[in-house]
C-alpha cells in the first residue's frame, strides 16, 4: 500500500509540473513540455497529446516546434484541415527547423488527394538534412505513390461507383462486405450505437462490432434494410464478419482471444435460418498472432486467410491458404509466397468463385496511398504479379475488403473516400462496361475472363421419412468426363458453382439408399448469375 501511495504522489507531481510549467507567451514552450508531448505520441496517446497541445497553443504562437508537433498529432487523429493549418504555421515561423513537418505535410496532402502539393512537400523533406534514414525511405515510397496516382488519375478505369446509401451505411464505420454466390445476401460489419449490449469498446470509445445482413429485393433489385444476423452470433463484445461461404450457410467471424490476438471462428446457419454460436476454426489456421479475413473457395475445399504469424511470413499480415481435411478441420497453412506477400500489410482477402482470381488490400508502396485493392491470378501453378485495380476504385484514402459477384459485373468494397456518411462506408462498383471493354487491355486482369459461372443447389431428402440427408455425391461434366466431389450438409443442403451452358450428371451412391442419377443442362445468363434448385429424393434400401 505504501508503494502505491508513493507512485500516486509521483504521478501527481508529474501532472502538476506539466500543467503548471512556466509558459511565456510568444517566447516559446518549454523543452520539457515538448518532450512530454512527444513521449505521449510515441506511446500512441494522441488524444491526450491533442488536449495538452490545444492548451499550449492558446499561450504560444511563435514556437515552430510546438506547431510541428501539433500538426503531426492532428494528422494521426485524422484532423486533416487542422493538421495543415498547424504544419503551415510552423513553416511560416521557421521554414528550416524540424524537417519532419514537411513529411507530415506531404502525408496530409496525399490523404486529401492534393497530389502535386504532397509531392512538393515530400521533395522538400528529402532535400533537408536528417538522420532518420527510415523516414527518408518512407518519403521516397510516398513520393512514388503520388506520381503513380497522378498517372492513374489521368487514365481512370471504365467503371461506375456509388455509395450504398444511408439505408446500409451509418455515421459509424461499415466494412468487410461479403456476398453469397447467388448475389442475394449481403453480410457486413458495423459499429453503430444500437449494437448488441449497447456497449462501447473502452480502447477507442466506439461501439463494439456487430454483424448485419441485408437481402436483395427480387423485384426492385435493391437491398432491404439491414438487421443484425438472427441467432447467437452477435455478442456484447467484438463480432466482425470475415467472410461468407459461397452457399451462404456459414459465416467466418473475427473474435478476440484471451491473449488479445484475433482469431477466426465460424458460425453455421441452422434449419430455422438463425445462426448458431461461433466456434473456433480447427486446424492450422489460428495462432497466438493476429488472424483476420477469411474467404472460402466455391467448392468449399480451400480457405484463404490473413495472418501475422512470423512462421513463413514476409512482413505484417500475409495471405495464407489451407486445404480442408475433414468437415470441420483444415490442414497446414501455406503462405502464398513473395509474389503476393511483402514486408507491408495485406488484409481483406477474397477468392472469386472461379477458384483462381484472388483480391486483397495492401498498403505497399504500389498503392495510390493508404490501402489499395489488388488482384492476382493462380495459373500454371503460380500466382501472377499483383495488379492495382486503378482509379477510381482505389484512391489516396483507404480501400479495403473487396467482394466480386459470381458474374463479375458487380463488386462491393469499403472505403473512407469523400462522399460517404462517416468513416468507412460500403460502396458498389459496376463492372459491366469494363467487362465489355476490349480496348482496356491493361486492366483486363481486374475482372475474371473465364467461362460464365452458374449455380445448382437444393436439398437431399429421404423419400419415406422426409428427413434431410447428409451425403457425398459426384457431379460429372458430360463432354469431358471431369468429376467434382461434393456433399450435402447436416441440413441436407447442397450447392455447386459450375460452368454454364453445359450438361452434367449428379450421381449418389449411398449404401443406405438406392443409387441415384440425375442429368441436367445448366444454363448461363447475362443478367445476373443463373441459379437452379433441385430437390433430390432418395429411396431407402429395405433389408
Contact between residue 313 and residue 306 where contact means Cβ atoms under 8 Å apart:
no
CATH 2.120.10.30 domain range(s) in the chain: 160-446
Give the model confidence (pLDDT) of 441-489 as tens digits: 444 445 666 678 899 999 999 998 889 999 999 999 999 999 988 899 8
DSSP collapsed to 3 states, 377-406: EEECCEECCCEECCCCCCCCCCEEEEEECC
Query: Is CATH 3.40.50.1370 correct for 24-154?
Result: no
Q: What is the pTM of this model?
A: 0.82
pLDDT at 503: 95
Give the model confidence (pLDDT) of 114-150 as tens digits: 999 999 999 999 998 888 888 999 999 899 999 989 9
CATH 2.60.40.10 domain range(s) in the chain: 453-538
Residue 514 neighbours by CB under 8 Å, 6+ apart: 538, 539, 540, 541
CATH code for the part of the protein at 453-538: 2.60.40.10
Intervals of the chain under pLDDT 70 = 1-28, 257-260, 435-450
| Helices and strands (DSSP H and E) totals, the chain | 9, 31
* Residue among 499, 506, 509, 507 nearest 530 (CA): 499
pLDDT at 421: 87
pLDDT at 433: 79
CATH 1.25.40.10 domain range(s) in the chain: 24-154
Contact between residue 350 and residue 411 where contact means Cβ atoms under 8 Å apart:
no
pLDDT at 408: 86
CB atoms within 10 A of CB 258: 5
**Which CATH fold would you assign to the domain 160-446?**
Neuraminidase (2.120.10)
User: In the 8-state DSSP scheme, what is residue 207?
Assistant: B
Cell of 376: 492476382
Give the model confidence (pLDDT) of 476-490 as tens digits: 999 999 998 889 988
Amino acid at each position: 500500500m505504501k508503494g502505491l501511495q508513493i507512485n500516486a504522489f509521483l504521478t501527481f507531481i508529474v501532472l502538476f509540473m506539466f500543467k503548471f510549467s512556466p509558459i511565456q507567451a510568444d517566447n516559446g514552450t518549454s523543452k520539457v513540455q515538448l518532450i512530454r508531448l512527444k513521449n505521449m505520441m510515441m506511446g500512441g496517446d494522441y488524444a491526450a497529446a491533442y488536449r495538452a497541445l490545444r492548451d499550449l497553443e492558446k499561450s504560444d504562437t511563435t514556437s515552430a516546434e510546438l506547431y510541428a508537433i501539433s500538426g503531426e498529432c492532428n494528422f494521426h487523429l485524422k484532423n486533416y484541415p487542422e493538421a495543415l493549418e498547424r504544419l503551415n504555421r510552423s513553416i511560416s515561423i521557421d521554414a528550416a527547423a524540424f524537417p519532419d513537418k514537411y513529411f507530415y505535410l506531404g502525408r496530409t496532402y496525399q490523404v486529401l488527394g492534393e497530389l502535386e502539393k504532397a509531392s512538393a512537400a515530400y521533395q522538400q523533406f528529402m532535400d533537408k538534412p536528417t538522420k532518420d534514414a527510415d523516414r527518408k525511405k518512407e518519403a521516397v515510397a510516398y513520393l512514388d505513390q503520388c506520381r503513380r496516382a497522378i498517372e492513374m488519375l489521368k487514365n481512370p478505369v471504365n467503371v461506375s461507383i456509388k455509395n450504398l446509401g444511408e439505408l446500409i451505411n451509418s455515421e459509424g464505420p461499415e466494412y468487410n462486405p461479403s456476398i453469397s454466390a447467388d448475389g442475394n445476401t449481403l453480410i457486413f460489419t458495423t459499429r453503430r450505437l444500437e449494437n448488441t449490449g449497447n456497449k462501447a469498446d473502452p480502447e477507442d470509445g466506439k461501439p463494439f462490432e456487430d454483424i448485419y445482413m441485408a437481402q436483395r429485393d427480387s423485384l426492385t433489385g435493391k437491398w432491404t434494410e439491414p438487421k443484425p444476423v438472427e441467432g447467437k452470433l452477435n455478442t456484447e463484445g467484438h463480432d466482425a464478419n470475415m467472410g461468407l461461404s459461397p452457399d451462404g450457410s456459414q459465416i467466418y467471424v473475427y473474435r478476440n482471444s484471451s491473449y488479445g490476438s484475433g482469431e477466426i471462428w465460424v458460425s453455421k446457419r441452422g434449419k430455422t435460418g438463425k445462426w448458431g454460436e461461433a466456434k473456433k476454426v480447427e486446424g492450422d489456421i489460428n495462432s497466438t498472432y493476429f488472424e483476420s479475413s477469411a474467404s472460402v473457395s466455391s467448392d468449399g475445399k480451400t480457405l484463404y486467410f490473413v495472418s501475422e504469424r512470423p512462421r513463413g511470413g514476409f512482413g505484417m499480415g500475409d495471405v495464407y491458404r489451407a486445404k480442408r481435411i475433414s468437415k470441420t478441420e483444415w490442414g497446414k497453412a501455406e503462405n502464398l509466397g513473395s509474389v503476393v506477400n511483402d514486408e507491408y500489410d495485406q488484409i481483406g482477402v477474397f477468392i472469386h468463385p472461379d477458384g483462381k482470381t484472388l483480391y486483397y488490400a495492401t498498403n505497399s508502396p504500389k498503392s495510390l496511398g493508404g490501402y489499395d485493392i489488388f488482384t492476382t491470378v493462380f495459373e500454371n501453378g503460380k500466382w501472377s504479379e499483383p495488379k492495382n485495380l486503378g482509379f477510381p476504385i482505389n484512391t489516396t484514402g483507404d480501400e479495403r475488403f473487396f467482394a466480386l459477384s459470381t458474374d463479375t459485373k458487380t463488386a462491393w468494397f469499403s472505403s473512407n473516400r469523400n462522399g460517404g456518411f462517416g468513416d468507412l462506408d460500403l460502396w458498389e462498383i459496376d463492372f459491366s462496361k469494363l467487362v465489355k471493354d476490349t480496348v482496356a487491355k491493361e486492366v483486363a486482369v481486374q475482372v475474371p475472363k473465364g467461362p460464365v459461372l452458374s449455380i445448382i443447389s437444393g436439398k437431399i431428402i429421404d423419400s419415406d421419412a422426409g428427413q434431410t440427408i447428409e451425403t457425398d455425391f459426384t457431379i460429372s461434366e458430360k463432354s469431358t468426363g471431369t468429376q467434382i466431389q461434393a456433399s450435402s450438409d447436416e441440413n441436407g443442403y447442397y450447392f455447386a458453382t459450375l460452368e454454364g451452358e453445359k450438361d452434367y450428371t449428379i450421381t449418389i451412391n449411398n449404401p443406405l439408399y438406392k443409387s441415384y442419377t440425375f442429368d441436367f443442362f445448366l444454363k448461363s445468363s447475362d443478367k445476373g448469375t443463373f441459379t437452379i434448385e433441385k430437390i433430390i429424393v432418395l429411396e431407402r434400401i429395405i433389408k
